[in-house]
Structures are given as structure tokens and as C-alpha cells.
Structure 1
Amino acid sequence: MAVVEQVKKDYDNSAVNYNDYGSLPFGQLESELIKIALGDCSGLAILDLGGGTGVHAREAIDLGAVTVDLVDISPEMLKIGLEIEKSLGRENTIRFFEADVSKPLSHLPLHENGYDVVMANWIFSHAGSMEVLEGMFRNVVGYLKPGGRFVSVRDADPNSPAVENGKYGATYKCVKDIPGGSKYLLVLHCTRPIEFEGASLEIIYSGSTEMHERFGLTDVEVVPSESTEVIQKDPEFWKLFLERPSFAVVKATKEME
């Protein structure tokens, strides 16, 4: 099965239970870090690449964003996201589009003048080749206004002890080397376990800023995990993660023209 079809299948199969991830320790930490990275979104238009059911899109709305356009490869994830929006009595606050975010998105009715913020959470965990990774970065930068903010969740260490025993709600299994990176099976330990096949390149999980800089992103920085309330409340519990983080939330700015 082609990689893109496997990703689509994995997310379609997990769509109903995916929002349970937010209750896991990793999910709580990720949510806090993204909200810190987003900051004040008052009046902003946001593009959410690989946004799934809209978990972080809704957080952006809560932080003041006027609208979020969300693009994801999984029709089932999009369907659930749309149902959630309807249950909240909202229409077109979050727009949902189905597409592969590593390919050109010109066929979608996205904002021609760009977005104030572009989010790309975990999409680089499905980029097992430079061709795919570069396609994702082209979309990030192509739709981001000059001076706009980029926010991303990425792998930090596929071999971290923090993802060996499920302590924080996730396990990486069958980690194998691929050219330039690693391939793995991710298990989220929700009430009903969720599995995804992932692949990440070292140029991303090593913490290198090379790709960001190549595509005109500056001021690249990792949001400190220690700045979150969930870790401040129980630093001992998070000690294993802090020693060798398995993921990171990164923010950057697009260069002014």
C-alpha cells in the first residue's frame, strides 16, 4: 500500500476515538504547548495543515482566531470535525478540506492573500522522504503571510525512553532505520488503542533548523516544555520525558519581503 493511502487508512480507522488523545498526558502537554506557541490569535486567519478533527483549530478559535481553514487527508476525521462544529452551533468558522498536504493545494478555495498563522502539527511524522517533506514546507510557506507565525508539533527522538513503556500515553514500536531517518509504529493508549505508521527524517527530529531556514522561516525556537502547567504541577512524573523529549512544539516566523 502506498504511504499516503496507509496514512489515510490509519486516520480514517481511528477517527471516532482520536479525540480521546487529549486526555492522555502527552495530549495534555501538546495542547498546552501549542496554545503557548499560538499566543493571542485575536482577529487572525489560520491555516491548519493536517488538522484532523480540529482539536487545535478549536483551540485557536478559543484564543481569538476569526477563522481556521483546515486541510487533512482523512475524510472520516474531517467528518467528525464538521459534526463537532455543528454541535457547537458554528458554521464556516472552521472550514474543512480534504487533501494531501504534501501536494499543491491550489485546487482548494484557500485565502489567496495568505494566513496570519499556519499550523502543521505532526505532518512531518508522515514525511519519510525529502520530496514529501519539501512539499509540506512549500505549502506552509506558500500560504503564510510575510511576518506570519508558523507553529508545528514534530518528533524529537523516536528512540526516547519516554515512548518505550506508554507512561505518557504513547508507545513507539518497531523503530527501523530508513534512508535519512526512522520509520515506526505509534500506539496511542486510549480506551481503545489507536495505531499509526509514521516516518520522520533526522533533519526534522534532530532539531535542525535547516529546512525552516531554506524555506525562509526565521526565529525558529522550541517552546520549553517546562513552561507548561501540566509539567510544573508534577515535574517528577515528567522527568523521563524532560531528559529526552520524544516530541517538540516549534514556532517560527516567515521572513518579511
Structure 2
Amino acid sequence: MSENNYDAFAAAYQADNENNAWNAYYERPAILSLAGDVAGRRVLDAGCGGGAHAAALIDRGAILTGIDASASLLEIAQRRLEGRARLLLADLNKPLPFEDGAFDLIIASLVMHYLPDWSPALSEFNRVLPAGGRLIFSTHHPFMDHQLAGSDNYFETYSFSETWQRGGKAVTMRFWHRPLHAMFDALKSAGFQIDVVSEPQPDPQISTLFPAAHQSLTTKPRFLFFSAAKA
């Protein structure tokens, strides 16, 4: 199966994402905690997938727009959100179809590690935010990536692949590792000021629901979370 083709396994991916340890009890709670009070805020969910984050944000009063590169995942989100959000097909490697300052907050959940270059996306995120607008995102922790990839040089930006099993299919996913300093440099160059860098602990419920995942998530780096403001 071709790399990063979410359309080919969208339903199986979303079913897993909905309730697994990594997304439901670790990544999603951490992102929503960083987002804080979103009532009345214009929020862009960049890489919205099947709409799990979007649903939670809408329930908290956000005026939500979601974008994703997968038409099949957007269809799942459309059914789930029942018209409560504007959903569009868009590629984060290209200019976004929004006016300057269109959003107060951007959420980008586990999408940045698919991008070979952060500059185009971060530049567009900056453009569609007003001064003081916030960007919150999660990405693969570079220490986790480097260990998985088995590369010789942590300080390089390089791609590597991993095979997932979803819905009885083997799916090849390609990611981009970048060292920590490169993440900070990219944000600064795009006009963002970082206010939070987080390596959170999972939801305590995970200890009984997923003991093995609890052991891993409480002792090893997994994802890295940023909150940054447009300078």
C-alpha cells in the first residue's frame, strides 16, 4: 500500500484512534488541556482526521474549521460533526484557503512529523492568525523518532518509515525526524514565540485500561507538545 495513504484505511484508523491509549488517553487530553477555554474562539483544526479533537472543541464552544489531506477521513468527520464545523480538503505543504487573521487558535495534532519542511505550514499558520493568536501542536518526540529510525545522526533531518497494522492491513507510514533545535528554529523563523513545551503524563485511567502503554508512556518519550503565540 502506498505511503501515508489514509484514504485506504480511514475507517480502521479512526476506530483505533478513537479509544487507544496513545490518542484517547494521552495525546488528545494533552492538546485539549493546552487549548484551554475555546468558547467563541475561531479554531482551525489542521489535520482534523475523523474529527475527534474537533468534536471536543465544538462541545467547548469553539467555532471550528477542520482541514485534512484525506477525503475519506473528512467524510468520517462530516458524519460525526453533523454540520457543526466547516470541513475542507487541504494540504499543509501548500497555501491555505483562508484570509489573513481568519483564526484565533490553530490546533495541529500529530501532523507536523509528516512534513519534510515545516516552513510552508508555519508561515501559513502565522498568516491566518492575528497578532497574539496561538498555535498548539503535537508531534513525534525526536528522541522517540531517532530510536525508532535507527539512524546514525540525531542532528540530521531525515525521513524514515514504519509499518502499522490497521484493519487487517499492513500500512507503510513515512515520517520526518528533526532534532529539537530545528523545531525551535523553525517556529522562531516563522514568527512564533514559544510559551509552553510539554512532555505530559497520560490520563491516570490508562494504568488499569492499558498497563503496558502506561508503563511506556510514563517512562519513555513519545510525543512533544508546543504552545506558541504569533509575535
For Structure 1 versus Structure 2, the TM-score category normalised by the shorter chain is 0.7 to 0.9
Q: 1:153 is matched with which residue?
A: 138
Quick check: 1:211 aligned with 2:198?
no
Whole-angstrom CA distance in 2 between matches of 1:228 and 1:46: 24
Q: 1:46 is matched with which residue?
A: 43
Q: 2:105 is matched with which residue?
A: 117
Quick check: 1:126 aligned with 2:114?
yes
Contact 1:118 1:150 in 2 (8 A): yes
Contact 2:41 2:61 in 1 (8 A): yes
Q: 2:92 is matched with which residue?
A: 101
Which string of whole-angstrom CA distances, capped at 9 and with x for unpartnered residues, describes residues 182-235 of structure 1? 412152x6564673412213245x684111111111134223413744468799
Q: 2:11 is matched with which residue?
A: 16
Residue 72 of structure 1 aligns with an amino acid whose one-letter code is D
Residue from 206, 214, 217 that aligns with 1:241:
217
Contact 1:18 1:194 in 2 (8 A): no
Contact 2:67 2:90 in 1 (8 A): yes
- RMSD between aligned alpha carbons? 3.0
Residue 103 of structure 1 aligns with an amino acid whose one-letter code is K
Q: 1:49 to 1:117 in 2, by over 3 A?
A: same
Contact 1:14 1:194 in 2 (8 A): no
Of residues 11-20 and 227-236 in structure 1, the stretch that sits farther from structure 2 once superposed is: 227-236
Residue 225 of structure 2 aligns with an amino acid whose one-letter code is V
Q: 1:70 is matched with which residue?
A: 66
Q: 1:119 to 1:196 in 2, by over 3 A?
A: farther
Whole-angstrom CA distance in 2 between matches of 1:225 and 1:231: 13
Contact 1:209 1:220 in 2 (8 A): no
SS of the aligned residue for 1:151 comes to strand
Question: How many residues are matched?
Answer: 224
Q: 1:122 to 1:175 in 2, by over 3 A?
A: farther
Q: 1:164 is matched with which residue?
A: none
